[in-house]
Chain A
Amino acid sequence: MSKLLIFSILFLSVTIFICMFRAVKGPSAADRLIAINVIGTKTIVLILIVSFLIHETYFVDVAIVYALISFLSSIIIAKFIENSGGKNI
């Protein structure tokens, strides 16, 4: 079971790096924001798998706070894009 968890961590890290490509290159701000949102979800799963791997249960609280802050930042930046008045920021 430990080997499966390590494989999952490595796989998620590789997909996070592939998403980082879109977050750097993306033509508009919404592309970057979508990529950042997916990276946040993957990071929540990554933190939980690490907490199961090293048998530390307090990482679950870190994952809860990360989920809350990630949702809040997505909403704020989406509002900022909506009010930007047509400029490509």
Chain B
Amino acid sequence: MKDIIVTIFLLGGLFFFMVGTLGIIRFPDVFTRAHSASKCDTLGAILCLSSLVMLEGLNLVSLKIILILVFVWIASPTATHLIAKAEYTRLASLAKINGVKKHEDI
């Protein structure tokens, strides 16, 4: 019973990693790629690490894995948000330098 649940969670995490990687390759823009990478960071990592916690049982090692899980869950969307904000600021300052008044065909 435990093996079945661990297998389902681990394969679900690998599925989300695959989907996120596919989005990083196929999407046309920085911001859409950030959206796809955020899926890959949160859901894939959370499913894989919780399956490893279930495989280990409750001891000190699984507590360390839960610590990694909470840290990744907080830090990874923050990093993706900072990258998207940095790219937006860069594009805005680029438009300001070149004198762009209005955008066409976005």
Cross-chain contact A34 with B86 (CB below 8 angstroms): no
Whether the Cβ atoms of B64 and A67 lie closer than 8 Å is: no
* Interface of B: prevailing SS: helix
When the two chains form the complex, which single residue of A8, A35, A38, A71 contacts B75, counting CB atoms closer than 8 Å?
A71
Interface residues of A in 1-25 (CB under 8 A from B): 1, 4, 8, 11-12, 15, 18-19, 21-22
Interface residues on B, range: 35 or more
Establish whether residues B41 and A41, one from each chain, have CB atoms under 8 Å apart when the complex forms.
yes
Question: How many residues on chain A are close to B (CB under 8 Å)?
Answer: 42
Query: Quick check: A8 and B83 within 8 Å, CB to CB?
Result: no
Closest Cβ of chain B to A57, distance in Å, is 5
**Across the interface, which residues of A come within 8 angstroms of B84, CB to CB?**
30
Convert A35-63 into 0s and 1s, putting 1 for each residue whose CB lies closer than 8 angstroms to a CB of B: 10110011011001100100001001101
* Contact B83–A86 (Cβ < 8 Å): no
Binding site for A on B (CB under 8 A): 3, 6-7, 10, 13-14, 17-18, 20-21, 24-25, 30, 33-34, 37, 40-41, 44-45, 48-49, 52, 55-56, 61, 64-65, 67-68, 71-72, 75-76, 78-80, 82-87, 89-90, 93-94, 96-97
